[in-house]
Amino acid sequence: MALSRNQVIDLFSRHVSPGKVDTYRKYDMLFVPGKRNGCFLFDINGKKYINCHCNGGVFNLGHRNREVINAVTRAMKTYDMGNHHLISLPRALCAKELAATLPPGLNQVAYGVSGGEAVDLAIKLARGVTGRGGVVSAR
């Protein structure tokens, strides 16, 4: 589905965040990303920019890092990434490596698929270990 820049902005405003679009419009920042490569971003119309947006892991590896793409492609061809319930040699080996970095007595790893899931698991673990129901959080 090829949409114009304005169509993408309108679609985003209607179905994701009109407030974000209004703010970006106010500061003349209505950037709709297209292709990405290394430290570069291209807008939907092909204009090239250096990515100075501090977000995610892009600055560690760059956009579309060929080594990462190749490793992920190999892994997707080899491993069943969608089934996290069954016993898995790759997950067991990764957990062993992670456990080697933990203090003595801690030798198991719980995998999560998102930051929210990790926080939820940490809260459940803290409640289980302490026997307390309350949680203190800070902003």
Per-residue pLDDT tens digits for 54-93: 666 666 777 888 998 999 999 888 876 667 777 888 888 9
- The distance between the two most distant Cα atoms of the chain, rounded to a whole number of Å, is 57
Q: What is the CA radius of gyration of the chain?
A: 21
Using alpha carbons only, what angle is made at residue 64 by residues 61 and 70, rounded to the nearest 5 degrees?
A: 90
Helix axes 18-26, 5-15, angle to 10 degrees: 130
Report whether 10 contacts 18 (CB < 8 A): no
Q: What is the pLDDT of residue 58?
A: 63
Q: Which H or E element spans position 95?
A: helix 89-99
Per-residue pLDDT, averaged over 118-133, amounts to 92
Give the span between the Cα atoms of 5 and 125, in whole angstroms: 46
Give the span between the Cα atoms of 103 and 124, in whole angstroms: 21
Give the span between the Cα atoms of 118 and 88, in whole angstroms: 20
Whether 51 has a pLDDT exceeding 80, the answer reads yes
Question: Does residue 50 sit in helix, strand or coil?
Answer: strand
Per-residue pLDDT, averaged over 19-40, amounts to 92
